[in-house]
Structure 1
């Protein structure tokens, strides 16, 4: 979190997960994100088998559906 908007605007594009950064990571890495993504994860990472955020969202949907029953 940022205390002021200036810091946010200055740093918002600094921390973005890219395929280049994924190439440096372990094969055991799993990337999770609650979505919707704004600028944190490049769409080029979506095809990486370690990108599990779409599964995470799907499983969360099933969990919420089960809790409603």
Structure 2
């Protein structure tokens, strides 16, 4: 099914991304879909207790800020780990190449 709310109870991870305006050739098409989904607090009631929400950030309005302090919200930690991971990979690559 393509209905997100219908499937929330099945998910271990809800990975959310923003609708990217820059990917649309026609701005009117973007406007049609902008805001077509938003993760809001009521949706958490339908999710498994141990399910998590991830997002690569930055976000626009696809995740309610009310979710930021919930146990399911892992996107800030994801961003932190991403920064550290990229730094470690750069160090590894540069060290291997004699920099």
TM-score using structure 1 length? 0.84
Structure 1 residues 1-69: aligned runs within 5 Å: 4-69=26-91
Q: What displacement does 1:38 show?
A: 0.9
Normalized per residue, the structure richer in strand is 2
Whole-angstrom CA distance in 1 between matches of 2:29 and 2:46 = 28
TM-score using structure 2 length? 0.61
Of residues 2-11 and 26-35 in structure 1, the stretch that sits farther from structure 2 once superposed is 2-11
Runs of 4+ in 1 over 3 A off after TM superposition: 1-4
Q: What displacement does 1:13 show?
A: 1.7
Q: What displacement does 1:54 show?
A: 0.5
Query: 3-state DSSP class of the match of 2:35?
Result: coil
Root-mean-square deviation (Å): 1.6
Structure having the higher Rg: 2
Of residues 19-28 and 39-48 in structure 1, the stretch that sits farther from structure 2 once superposed is 19-28
Q: What displacement does 1:10 show?
A: 2.6
